[in-house]
Structure 1
């Protein structure tokens, strides 16, 4: 929020300079993001009045002006501004003046006519970007007065970066209350003499949605002059606060909003058919807003209607149909309390924001509605004239102010300093927080403009802000230095990240919300979880897989001439699951497991002389997964199965000890082509919970006996997998104690007869066995007996035959 320091000091004027005031507000939680001068430096620019004007004899677009600069001697100025006219009061840069940007003014001759200075536009003085004509000043300004004094340009603009809970400080009055409480300076809030009702006219208003509107007040004004000029002081304050002056009616509404924090709306009474109704919108209704945007309304959006016509978005923005114009003579002035939950997020849904919605969705004072309406009426009548009707005030559903209890000893423990009871009482009094004592505790009733006081810690924060964070000593916490025992069988996310980095993968962090097409393409998810309020139209759903983000990372790097990419991500995915219930870390109906995914693309190794270059393949990445699993990789199975993101013949489901833990495979050729990659990445995705435990190492005595190696080659039908044979061998060894000498089995050769087709009826598999007895040296008879027993098991289970 931006405002000029001079406006704030009309309400509270502490004995502090600008820098000290800025520091005070920042340390009290109202961060001053920026302070800057209201106008750039310039010198010798004064108020002047054009007394006469004549056309230039040698130029159609130039005029010769006689200007009174307060010295008593008229100056001749050549000017080309289209609005230059006799009687106009404008800025004059005298000879020797220096303007923003280093421009110096001297005597000049323009088309044969001498000019002794320059009449200035707002842009030439750095006050705004308006350069359509001369900057017109108030006619009451004194000629010769320095312009910086006349427009109060030696002012400072404050920009506050407020936290969402401090809605009460979205106004000059709210900030002034804070400054008064912090400095004990006298607060003089804006007041106005109420306008007596001279009309009996009333506009009927019906509130059909008390959960939308808690209080609605309004009054009719007739005979207003919408073409009246906005006073210079009001226009200056608005412009210094970042508001563009539009017309008197609109300017007054904006002024009240900035000064008091009260958004209001002015309807053109002649354009309202019948009375007003406050209700929730109906599906299919639409509304053209003041910004020219036409929006389709939903059933959870509040509206104000006149008859059957929707006139405005409640608490957000008015409609074009009842907007005031310069020809408006009769108006209906409205001020209301809209429930924050009923306004929150609605404006962002339509991809815009308004000053009114920014305040109402955070909470606006509901007790001062009539008081603020009277204040605005006084401004309207004084500036635009007219007669006012009585105020209709309907109170239907206001927030209950629940008392908040604060224990003094709890305050001392949280702050670490013993703030005395008398000082706490003074702080609450200065903050305008009514309280009573009960059993030694403070019972505080939050005022109507404070929507951020709910729990004990909120009140302790108020004590700390006013007491002063700088008065709280920085004492290091005292704690026993006790080492935490880390379970040897548990690998946390940091350890997994380190393991992946050791495997030459680089970590990436992608958005948890993705394009909806990614969910269809990479996860086969036809019903993804959609965001109600996405940050961008293409990031509309929650991800149920990490693969899409990694493919996008590879494509991004490939487009930037990177030839080798290896990336991984550890993050949550989101899927519908009716079995999930609400909890501290869960949301009903949504499963949120952590997944670890990796992707490799390009050469297996960086370019080098010691190894030929080849593209990474399925088995390279499978080895990385086995390395990641460590000792548990012995139990990992790759089961051929289809996946929507992966190549139908080069992907597998990963199964660990009977549990499905993820997928591995090449990216589907369709998505490779869509991503414009010259070859397919190999990706994998694992359930973090399934791989976060490791086996505890079990030391065993090393045998001194030699190891015996034996090979066994068999013919087997092509449709029988190696895994089936391997499982049969393991089961046989486990069921026969005599086979305990078999320490390891590995497949070292797969062969097919070239005379047959590649996928002929049989294939040859060659196994190598490592045999060792820890207590005795193996003889040939025992080894042959063991190998024959394993061969018999394969023949019995799979019908294999020995290869000669």
Structure 2
């Protein structure tokens, strides 16, 4: 076959021998053909000569007889297995549980013990293999995916619903970009990078997404929102790889639309767009968004006055967000406006195990809900989130929601003061509340806000 391919010649010999004709049958075949010619035509044959063939060297396969049971699930007696192989032209030798089987020259397809099992079953009868049901693991509604896999899928869906497009960027980035985002360690440098600008494992998903957004802008698509949920690397150990959900918005790629419109042009993206994306990703991952704490400021690649850090308690950091620092954009050769976020999917705490997966019954209050407004004068440094949490904590049973609807600063409030107005939703549960009940609840709200923020009710 090799010679025929080299010379480009197709002959009958090549056609047959490259398909596995028994090489040991060449001499008997010539003898048979010569006999037929002499019988029908007569004549005197010449002496036969064999060239280029040194004889067949038989393969010997070690065959454990227990393989028949292991691979097929049925018990075939040892004597029957050896008898089948012998009748097929194989030559088994040995008397133990493992025998040596010499493969005949006309069976070049037999290479290992599994092939011998196939020969035994072919003759014994494949129909003797009884059908067996799949093993039941008592998991009709059992969980298949891990928590991290579920969160990854949920985060992708949540960000896609928010109008962002998924991107898959390289895990390798230039050393300059890695150092800019807290990486560049020696153990994260590649020994044999595929390109000079792909020398370091990425410490963050943001460099790749920023570069991708700029490539889109260079081709005329300036309003683009991209996200990626993948791994980042803080070191070369297994526990130093993190699962992160990150995204960037450029130009006017807001949730409610981008570009120019007769009803009003969309504004540039900002820190609150990135914050909303980050909170949506965390909520999809099962984080308790009602207990999250937002601290101003973030890593050095964000604008110091337009960024934030999302925490759950004083130590657990769940993510960061903000508008990017002009120096960061300049170092990456990226133009703005552009904002982004990173959420650490693997940092979200595991949910508490429930005794049952059945949903709790729906409980609706038959009483009318009431909303009350409060305005507090606080120091300018007090965060609105702190005031909201203080109002919620006044009565966790009756107060079902608190939202900020106005912030005012002016000379009439005094230096370094501001007014924050909140709307408190109150849902009676056991009875209709009287005026005295509402007044008592209002006092508790005012006292709790004053205790935690120092705010006083605005006159």
Give the structure-2-normalised TM-score. 0.68
What is the rounded CA distance, in whole Å, between the counterparts of 2:347 and 2:156 in structure 1? 15
What is the rounded CA distance, in whole Å, between the counterparts of 1:411 and 1:545 in structure 2? 53
The Cα offsets for residues 150-172 of structure 1, whole Å up to 9 and x where unpaired, read as: xxxxxxxxxxxxxxxxxxxxxxx
- Of 666, 686, 693, the residue aligned with 2:343 is 686
- Of 270, 276, 282, the residue aligned with 1:617 is 270
1:775 CA displacement: 2.4
1:792 CA displacement: 2.1
1:195-594 to 2 correspondences below 5 Å: 407-410=64-67, 439-441=96-98, 479=134, 483-486=140-143, 491-527=150-186, 529-576=188-235, 586=238, 591-594=240-243
1:619-768 to 2 correspondences below 5 Å: 619-628=272-281, 629-630=283-284, 632-656=288-312, 659-691=316-348, 698-733=360-395, 740-753=397-410, 760-768=415-423
1:576 is paired with a residue whose SS is: coil
What is the rounded CA distance, in whole Å, between the counterparts of 2:151 and 2:227 in structure 1? 16
What is the rounded CA distance, in whole Å, between the counterparts of 2:298 and 2:308 in structure 1? 7
Task: Note if contact 2:298-2:304 (Cα within 8 Å) is conserved in structure 1.
Answer: yes
2:188 is paired with a residue whose SS is: coil
> Compared with structure 1, are the counterparts of its residues 572 and 540 closer, same or farther at alpha carbon in structure 2 (3 Å cutoff)?
same
Q: Which has the higher strand share?
A: 1
1:597 CA displacement: 1.5
2:395 is paired with a residue whose SS is: helix
What is the rounded CA distance, in whole Å, between the counterparts of 1:561 and 1:410 in structure 2? 65
1:769 CA displacement: 0.9
> Compared with structure 1, are the counterparts of its residues 574 and 780 closer, same or farther at alpha carbon in structure 2 (3 Å cutoff)?
same
What is the rounded CA distance, in whole Å, between the counterparts of 1:575 and 1:708 in structure 2? 50
> Compared with structure 1, are the counterparts of its residues 707 and 669 closer, same or farther at alpha carbon in structure 2 (3 Å cutoff)?
same
What is the rounded CA distance, in whole Å, between the counterparts of 1:703 and 1:772 in structure 2? 8
What is the rounded CA distance, in whole Å, between the counterparts of 2:193 and 2:117 in structure 1? 37
What is the rounded CA distance, in whole Å, between the counterparts of 1:787 and 1:442 in structure 2? 91
The Cα offsets for residues 750-777 of structure 1, whole Å up to 9 and x where unpaired, read as: 11116899xx511111121111211222
1:66-85 to 2 correspondences below 5 Å: none
What is the rounded CA distance, in whole Å, between the counterparts of 1:543 and 1:465 in structure 2? 50
> Compared with structure 1, are the counterparts of its residues 780 and 689 closer, same or farther at alpha carbon in structure 2 (3 Å cutoff)?
same
What is the rounded CA distance, in whole Å, between the counterparts of 2:426 and 2:458 in structure 1? 21
> Compared with structure 1, are the counterparts of its residues 426 and 765 closer, same or farther at alpha carbon in structure 2 (3 Å cutoff)?
farther
What is the rounded CA distance, in whole Å, between the counterparts of 1:478 and 1:606 in structure 2? 56
What is the rounded CA distance, in whole Å, between the counterparts of 1:436 and 1:633 in structure 2? 73
1:461 CA displacement: 7.6
2:444 is paired with a residue whose SS is: helix
Task: Note if contact 2:4-2:14 (Cα within 8 Å) is conserved in structure 1.
Answer: no
1:489 CA displacement: 11
> Compared with structure 1, are the counterparts of its residues 489 and 436 closer, same or farther at alpha carbon in structure 2 (3 Å cutoff)?
closer
Gaps of 5+ in 1: 25-181, 187-403, 445-457, 468-472, 581-585, 735-739
Task: Note if contact 1:573-1:593 (Cα within 8 Å) is conserved in structure 2.
Answer: yes
> Compared with structure 1, are the counterparts of its residues 7 and 594 closer, same or farther at alpha carbon in structure 2 (3 Å cutoff)?
same
1:517 is paired with a residue whose SS is: helix
1:498 CA displacement: 2.5
Task: Note if contact 2:166-2:228 (Cα within 8 Å) is conserved in structure 1.
Answer: yes
> Compared with structure 1, are the counterparts of its residues 443 and 619 closer, same or farther at alpha carbon in structure 2 (3 Å cutoff)?
farther
1:573 is paired with a residue whose SS is: strand
What is the rounded CA distance, in whole Å, between the counterparts of 1:595 and 1:771 in structure 2? 38
Task: Note if contact 1:519-1:528 (Cα within 8 Å) is conserved in structure 2.
Answer: no
1:484 CA displacement: 4.1
What is the rounded CA distance, in whole Å, between the counterparts of 1:591 and 1:422 in structure 2? 59
Task: Note if contact 1:411-1:460 (Cα within 8 Å) is conserved in structure 2.
Answer: no
1:561 CA displacement: 0.7
What is the rounded CA distance, in whole Å, between the counterparts of 2:188 and 2:437 in structure 1? 62
1:562 CA displacement: 0.7
Q: 2:37 maps to which residue?
A: none
Q: 1:596 maps to which residue?
A: 245
1:596 CA displacement: 1.7
1:485 is paired with a residue whose SS is: coil
Task: Note if contact 2:65-2:98 (Cα within 8 Å) is conserved in structure 1.
Answer: yes
Deviates more, 1:405-414 or 1:548-557: 405-414
Give the structure-1-normalised TM-score. 0.41
